Structure 1
Amino acid sequence: MLKVGLTGGIGSGKSAVARRLVERGAVLVDADQISREVVAPGTDGLTEVVAAFSARVLDADGALDRAALADLVFTDEAARRRLEAIVHRRVRARTAELIAAAAPDAVVVNDVPLLAEVGLAPTYHVVVVVQTALATRLQRLTRDRGMSRADAERRIAGQADDASRAAVADVLLSNDGTLAQLHAAVDALWDDRLVPYEENVRHRRAVRAQRVTLTEPDPTWPQQYARLAARIRHAIAPAELRIDHIGSTAVPELAAKDVIDIQLGVPSLAEADGPLAQRLADAGFPRMPGDWWDTPRPAGTGRWEKRLHGSADPARPVHLHLRVTGSLGWRYALLMRDHLRADPDRRAAYLMLKRELAASAPDSGTYATAKDPWFDEEHLRAEEWAARTGWRP
């Protein structure tokens, strides 16, 4: 099963995206609809809302007057938090029930207006954010929902801004064009990413590039790492293990393969081989089995002792290295990253080597092995730098 979080600001057209995904075969879990169900007449949710805000939030038929309630909470932060405490736990419980009832091979889309605001992004395999220009959103709200411009502006201001939503987005869908253009973007997302992603998660299959292609430094690599790390933390909770961004994408101004390298420190490799591996696979980070890093190494090569997981997401390759915290390999990965971050001349030398090898040895395995002699020598310089500066991992 693939869990997709879908969000966007009011008036962005998120519902149009949800409808198209359902047409393509997704199972929709609509948080807004559930939020209505949990405070419907006769529910304990409505009883608790009335106890908190009085009967003035009821209409003539005894149902919740959502407009009256909105007028109360949008101008009162404490009141909004009281309402969220009542409603959100019920919505989460019902959402969990509906997701659990979906088929094992389903793509479940959870439409959550306040996904960014309530910190739900790490609970999904992928987060899709619908982004639309403010002027377009205001026009839709006044034209299609009958809001005054002042009310529309107030509702928009009460939600996360575009930057906050973009920070949690694995996919940004622009909805400033026609409906046909939006449908085409959703269809491409479905065919090229969501369907193969679900299959990869179900079959515990990691994405792995066979050839090396260097890309220029991407300023979003640290933000992409942060989203992935948050997903990993959620998957391994309540364990509190150290997670670090390592490798070339963690070094500013360095061209690299577009693969995010992440190091997860574990107490032992036995623990890495236990339930932790299953939890990571469920979260979209399956183990890459049967390769040289699983093979016992001779004494003195302890830096290679690890378990390697990848990403099931076809659009975001990841190498997730599980190493014992404090081991040679764990320290080495952090030392070389920080050494290259600190020394622009050595960074330039490494970049030159990378470009030469990518041209002459583009096969992934050959490329990695060909860098070993350079790193063996550079490691000595890094240790000298660490001793000189007092570096600690």
Structure 2
Amino acid sequence: MIRIGLTGGIGAGKSTVARELETLGAVIVDGDKIAREVVEPGTPGLAALVEAFGERVLAADGSLNRPALAAIAFADDESRKTLNAITHPLVGARSQELITAAGPDAIIVQDIPLLVENHAGPMFHLVLVVWADAEERVQRLVSQRGMSEQDARARIAAQATDEQRRAAADVWLDNSGAPDSILTEVRRLWDHRIVPYGHNISERRAAVGAPAPTDPAAAAARLVGRVWLALGADAVAVVADSATDVGAVTVTRAAGVEDAAVAAALAPAGFYPGADQDVLTGADPGAATRVTVGG
């Protein structure tokens, strides 16, 4: 199974990319859709929101009044944190149910609006970020979703910056051009990177001839998080190696941990040993990565 995180600022066009990936064969786990499901009438999620914010967040029929909740939750940081503390665990649990049901060879795309804000990138083999200029996004939100300009700007300001998204992105999808251009790019990404990456993971093999990342230091920084998440207590330290032309990290094993244990832990994350058991190469055909193990 290959897991892909899809994110982007509100109004950037993330849903357009998700629909195209689904058409191509991906299993979409839509964070926004699940977030609506877990607060439907009669759910523990809706009850928790009423307890936290009062009955003013309910519509006349007892369902969630989303504009009223948004006006409260996006007004200040504490309210937003309260909202996230209620909904995020519920969304996470339901997402995992859908991922498990998809099967071991699926290409899973998790559509997560706040992936960057929640530092969730290390959970995924690839993070795709859909981008459009903030002013373009404001226009889309006003014309297509009926938001006021003030509300649109407040939503955008409450989310991650472009710089934060760039740091998290393995793939940057520019959706500021003609409507069809992003779809062409998504199809190319699917054929040349996502599908081959999934095959490599299924076959437990490293990529051959992968190009150097555009920014090796940034790729190494993302790699640190993925390796840490995979190894946990089996690693004493995971350090980015910025002196290479690939995304590279060095792992120091915890006392008593063997190479085989490290390799087994990193295999689901897409890293496999070659002739040298201390060097594992990434399965991503779109960017060369390497993990060197010592200790």
State TM-score, norm by structure 1: 0.72
Give secondary structure in 2 for the equivalent of 1:309.
strand
Instruction: Give 1:180 deviation, angstroms.
Output: 1.4
Matched residue, 2:227: 232
Matched residue, 2:146: 146
The more displaced of 236-245 and 18-27 is 236-245
Instruction: Give 1:195 deviation, angstroms.
Output: 0.2
- 2:265 counterpart of 1:279: yes
Gaps of 5+ in 2: none
Give secondary structure in 2 for the equivalent of 1:228.
helix
Once the two structures are superposed, the pairs formed by residues 38-77 of structure 1 within 5 Å of their partners are: 38-77=38-77
Whole-Å Cα distance in 2 between the matches of residues 115 and 149 of structure 1? 24
Matched residue, 2:183: 183
Whole-Å Cα distance in 1 between the matches of residues 247 and 137 of structure 2? 35
Instruction: Mark the CA change 1:7 to 1:56 in structure 2 (over 3 Å): closer, same or farther.
Output: same
Gaps of 5+ in 1: 295-306, 325-393
**Relative contact order, CA 8 A, sep 6+: which one is greater?**
2
The more displaced of 96-105 and 225-234 is 96-105
Give secondary structure in 1 for the equivalent of 2:28.
strand
Matched residue, 1:129: 129
Instruction: Give 1:319 deviation, angstroms.
Output: 2.2
Instruction: Give 1:268 deviation, angstroms.
Output: 5.8
Give secondary structure in 2 for the equivalent of 1:241.
strand
TM-superposition CA deviations, 1:212-259 (whole Å, max 9, x none)? x9x8x96x321110001111111112445212233xxx23xxxx6x42
Whole-Å Cα distance in 2 between the matches of residues 200 and 31 of structure 1? 27
Whole-Å Cα distance in 1 between the matches of residues 268 and 23 of structure 2? 26
Q: Check whether the contact 2:235–2:253 (CA below 8 A) recurs between aligned residues.
A: no
Q: How many residues align?
A: 295
Whole-Å Cα distance in 2 between the matches of residues 69 and 238 of structure 1? 40
Whole-Å Cα distance in 2 between the matches of residues 209 and 59 of structure 1? 57
Matched residue, 1:337: none
- 2:230 counterpart of 1:244: no
Q: Check whether the contact 2:209–2:285 (CA below 8 A) recurs between aligned residues.
A: no
Q: Check whether the contact 1:208–1:310 (CA below 8 A) recurs between aligned residues.
A: no
Give secondary structure in 2 for the equivalent of 1:5.
strand
Q: Check whether the contact 2:223–2:248 (CA below 8 A) recurs between aligned residues.
A: no
State TM-score, norm by structure 2: 0.95
Matched residue, 2:290: 319
Give secondary structure in 2 for the equivalent of 1:46.
helix
Q: Check whether the contact 2:224–2:238 (CA below 8 A) recurs between aligned residues.
A: yes
Instruction: Give 1:182 deviation, angstroms.
Output: 1.0
Q: Check whether the contact 2:234–2:257 (CA below 8 A) recurs between aligned residues.
A: no
